[in-house]
Structures are given as C-alpha cells and as structure tokens.
Amino acid sequence: MPLVDVTHAPTVPEALLRELGAVLPHLVSLAVECPEEPYDGDLQPGDVEVRFRPLGPLDLSGLPLVIEIKSKWFASRAADRQERVDTLHANLRAATGLDDFGIYLSLPVAAWSQGD
C-alpha cells in the first residue's frame, strides 16, 4: 500500500494536479509491484493513498513538483529501486507532459492494517 505525497509550487496548474491524481495510483502501483505484493490492475480503496500539499512560505525547493512515495520494504523492491523510480519518472512524463519534477522512492520496513 503505497503512500504518495505530492508537494507542489503555486505555479503548478490545478488541472495538472488533477491529472496527476488520476494517473499516479496506477503508475505507482506498477512501479512498486513485486512478487510479495503483486498488482492485478484492479485498484481498491486503500490500495494507494495520494495526498497533495502546496509548498508553504518557509519551504525550500528547487523543483516545482516533488513526488514522495513510501512503500513497504521487500528485498525484490529494494534490489532495483533506482530502475523502478527512473521508469516511473519516464512514465509520468509521458502520461502528463511534466518535465521539471522529482520523485523520491522510500522503502521503509513497515506494516499496514486497514481492517474490514
């Protein structure tokens, strides 16, 4: 269950943020797919959480848009994490036309419970 935080400058148009919100769950799921957590293409509520946050007046950022992804650590994910994030960057660029953005993929040791 990836958590995705999108931090953006006020210059990023809302329409682009909405487009990101539409494509991020699928593209992030593809990027973190692994044998331990396979992706079947059928996202359910709670599978991917995407949160948007505008840069605050005291924030310092060299990019207009930064996407931070946290997904549970598995050895199979960690082994090729740079390739995964590079592919995700290319896929997001192709899907949205974004050019000036960064992605940070974090794979912490974690657990998740959603209940029924």
The pLDDT, as a whole number, for residue 109 is 83
- Residue pair 35/18 in contact by the 8 Å Cβ criterion: no
pLDDT digits (tens, 9 = 90+) for 4-23: 999 999 999 999 999 999 99
Class of domain 3-106: alpha beta
Which amino acid, one-letter code, is at 102? G
Q: Where are the domains of the chain?
A: 3-106
The pLDDT, as a whole number, for residue 16 is 96
Provide the 3-class DSSP secondary structure of residue 113. coil
Mean pLDDT of the chain: 94
Per-residue pLDDT at 115 exceeds 80: no
Full-model pTM? 0.91
- Residue pair 30/83 in contact by the 8 Å Cβ criterion: no
From 39-43, 66-70, 87-91, the region with the lowest mean pLDDT: 39-43
Pairing label, strands 65-70, 102-106? parallel
